[in-house]
């Protein structure tokens, strides 16, 4: 019982998901005396459920394998892990030989992932303790979701953006070289080629004020919800999607090439332009984006994407343009030279 209380105390000492996940896994391992506890996360990727290892705890220590911004190194189909797959399909714990898997269900009966305990078979009391800790972990996840998500669209909110952007810049600063690991943190391995960058895009719904003025705010909210839903469908695992307020959204794209980044933003733009919206019929979005560099200040990254967005707004809207490309072509100089634009 003291171990359970100690773990709960550790969960309440911070608001970072990585810390919460690591404390849970470490506490679970100590609570039941397991040889190993693993936390797997679940995500649907292109219509296929996939899992990856997020945290592993053993008597020797705890290692976090998921920084929340990089592509998981061991992402694989859920169907390839029979025990996890059975737990997902039934919604209850599954055991085999020296392993037992507990599903972690969050709001709206959504499966966040799985806690896998390996070692000697658990007693009935230990199973109850493990399930209690799993449920406490789930409740903390729900609290984090409430504090991090935009209430209308379900996308991440503006406050959370700062956390993820700082995490990306810290990751870039670390580079490819091994560094001394902090408690509960691994030495990160960056598997991305040198031409793979993180990207930031600012997305603005064109003429959105006209929608509110003509059809009312309830229809405007419906448009925002549909655009947010299309963002969730268009972008992939580890891409972070934010609503900044009003009709403005931001995407932090996982490491990829310039061509693939443009393709991702262009596909989303085209999907919005092809969609029929209630009453208002067709809508479009304008997108400005830039890659994230080691030496960047957060405000400068947003400024570059904003400058590209302003250029798009001043040159016909309904485009996805890269700041660096516009700068090289002489279409942009600096923010002070940007023309005044009537957005609506």
Report yes or no on 153 lying in a domain. Answer: no
Based on the domain organization, do 38 and 81 belong to the same domain?
A: yes
- Span of 13-17, 195-199, 265-269 with lowest mean pLDDT: 13-17
**Residues belonging to the chain:** 344
Q: Is the pLDDT of residue 289 over 80?
A: yes
- What are 93-140's pLDDT values in tens digits? 999 989 999 999 987 778 999 999 999 999 999 999 999 999 999 999
191: pLDDT strictly greater than 50: no
Q: Residue 343 falls within a domain, yes or no?
A: no
Is pLDDT above 50 for 76? yes
- Cα–Cα dist 14/333, whole Å: 43
Task: Catalogue the active-site residues.
Answer: 247
Six-digit token string for 259: 């061509």
Does residue 332 share a domain with residue 200? yes
Count of domains for the chain: 2
pTM of the model: 0.79
Contacts of 122 (CB under 8 A, 6+ apart): 32, 100, 130
The pairing of beta strand 320-322 with beta strand 285-291: parallel
Is 18 part of a structural domain of the chain?
yes
Residue 203 sits in a domain whose CATH number is 3.30.70.270
| Lowest model confidence (mean pLDDT) among 149-153, 301-305, 339-343 | 339-343
What pLDDT, on a 0 to 100 scale, did the predictor assign at position 40? 97
pLDDT at 182 over 50: no
For residue 342, name the pLDDT band (cuts at 50, 70, 90).
Answer: very low
Query: Distance between CA atoms of 200 and 169, rounded to whole angstroms?
Result: 12
Helix axes 17-32, 124-148, angle to 10 degrees: 170
Q: What is the pLDDT of residues 28-66, one digit of tens each?
A: 999 999 999 999 999 987 789 999 999 999 999 999 998
259 and 178 housed in the same domain: yes
Instruction: Say if strands 99-105 and 94-96 run parallel, antiparallel, or are unpaired.
Output: antiparallel
Same domain membership, residue 90 and residue 163: no
Q: Assess whether 216 and 333 both reside in one domain.
A: yes
Averaged pLDDT score across all residues of the chain: 87
11 and 141 assigned to the same domain: yes
The domain boundary residue, chosen from 101, 130, 148: 148
Containing structural domain, residue 114: 2-148
């Amino acid at each position: 019982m003291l171990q359970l209380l100690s773990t709960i105390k550790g969960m309440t000492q911070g608001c970072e998901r990585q810390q919460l996940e690591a404390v849970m896994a470490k506490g679970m391992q100590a609570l039941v005396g397991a040889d190993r506890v693993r936390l797997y996360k679940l995500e649907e990727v292109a219509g296929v459920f996939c899992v990856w290892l997020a945290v592993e705890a053993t008597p020797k220590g705890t290692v976090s394998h998921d920084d929340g911004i990089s592509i998981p190194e061991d992402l694989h189909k859920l169907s390839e892990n029979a025990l996890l797959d059975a737990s997902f399909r039934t919604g209850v714990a599954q055991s085999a030989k020296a392993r037992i898997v507990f599903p972690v269900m969050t709001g709206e009966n959504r499966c966040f992932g799985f806690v896998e305990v390996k070692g000697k078979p658990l007693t009935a009391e230990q199973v109850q303790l493990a399930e209690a800790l799993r449920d406490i972990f789930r409740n903390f996840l729900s609290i984090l979701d409430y504090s991090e998500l935009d209430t209308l669209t379900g996308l991440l909110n503006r406050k959370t953006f700062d956390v993820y952007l700082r995490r990306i810049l810290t990751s870039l600063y670390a580079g490819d070289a091994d560094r001394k690991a902090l408690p509960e943190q691994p030495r990160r391995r960056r598997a991305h080629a040198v031409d793979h960058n993180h990207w930031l895009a600012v997305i603005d719904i064109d003429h959105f004020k006209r929608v509110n003025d003509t059809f009312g705010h309830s229809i405007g909210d419906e448009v925002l919800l549909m655009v947010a839903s299309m963002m969730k469908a268009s972008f992939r695992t580890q891409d972070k999607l934010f609503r900044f307020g009003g009709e403005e959204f931001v995407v932090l794209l996982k490491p990829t090439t310039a061509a693939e980044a443009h393709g991702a933003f262009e596909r989303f733009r085209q999907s919005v332009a092809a969609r029929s919206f209630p009453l208002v019929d067709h809508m479009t979005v304008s997108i400005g984006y830039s890659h994230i560099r080691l030496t960047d200040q957060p405000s400068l990254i947003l400024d570059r994407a904003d400058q590209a967005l302003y250029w798009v707004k001043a040159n016909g809207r309904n485009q996805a343009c890269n700041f660096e490309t516009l700068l090289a072509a002489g279409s942009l100089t600096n923010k002070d030279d940007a023309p005044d634009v009537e957005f609506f």
